Amino acid sequence: MFERVVVISLAAVLCYVGYRLYTRWQMRRAQQDPILRTLKRNVPTIVYFTTPHCMPCKTVQKPALARLQSELGEERLHVIEIDATQQPEIASKWGVLTAPTTFVFDARGKPSAVNHGVADLHLLKKQLSLPTSA
């Protein structure tokens, strides 16, 4: 029994480390994309990958991004939306495997987070180092 717990624990740790390494690889690779040349200076940016048939994108992610941008204003947050079905080469280059995927960049243009799946308003604020209270 103890051996099974050790094996399961080891597998969980390896999966976690693998995921963290993959995310770090994604962020490094994303930094090299020409899309990032369009970033506004000294403004945090979220690059948002979506697809036309992604229901969580339409019902949760896009409204969260819209609310965040309306709270901050376009001069304090830059959101770049990319349709992964229209630009599959960009999605592939960034390592996007699911929609929605969001990449969060700080005001210096350095990647600070990658979200595979829905990232709610609270999480995005936390990743942008903004106050999270409503």
Domains and CATH numbers, the chain: 2-127 (3.40.30.10)
* Angstrom distances, CA of residue 68 to CA of 3, 47, 64, 73, 112: 48, 14, 6, 8, 17
pLDDT for residue 117: 94
Q: For position 5, what pLDDT does the model report?
A: 86
- pLDDT on residue 133: 55
Q: In which residue ranges of the chain is pLDDT below 70?
A: 31, 131-134
The SS3 of residue 81 is strand
pTM for the structure as a whole: 0.77
